[in-house]
């Protein structure tokens, strides 16, 4: 702890701004939350794309089936 205090004094005298442990925790938490949001958005986009592909494939299948029945009649 004393070494960290000396390091803080030493670096702060060089014009560097050091974060307190609470500020470090807050920055880490912000990064984690931003990462979670990014992952959630990516997963939602992937899920939406897969759903759209399944719906389109089913629509195309039903359309082809309908058209095949119309040519038979």
Q: Rounded to two decimals, what is the model's pTM?
A: 0.53
User: pLDDT-derived band of residue 6, with 50, 70 and 90 as boundaries?
Assistant: very low
> In 1-73, where do the E strands start and end?
none
> In 1-40, where do the E strands start and end?
none
- The 3-state DSSP class for residue 67 equals helix
**HSE (side-chain half, CA atoms, 13 Å) at 7:** 7
pLDDT of residue 14: 55
CA distance 30 to 32: 5
CA 16 to chain CA centroid, nearest Å: 32
pLDDT digits (tens, 9 = 90+) for 7-47: 454 455 555 678 888 988 999 999 889 889 999 999 999 99
pLDDT of residue 45: 95
pLDDT digits (tens, 9 = 90+) for 40-61: 999 999 999 999 999 999 999 9
């Amino acid at each position: 702890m004393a070494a960290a205090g000396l390091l803080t004094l030493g670096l702060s005298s060089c014009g560097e701004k050091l974060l307190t442990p609470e500020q470090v925790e807050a920055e880490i938490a912000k990064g984690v939350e931003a990462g979670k949001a990014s992952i959630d958005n990516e997963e939602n986009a992937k899920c939406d794309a897969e759903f759209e592909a399944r719906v389109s494939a089913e629509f195309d299948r039903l359309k082809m089936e309908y058209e095949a029945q119309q040519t038979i009649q």
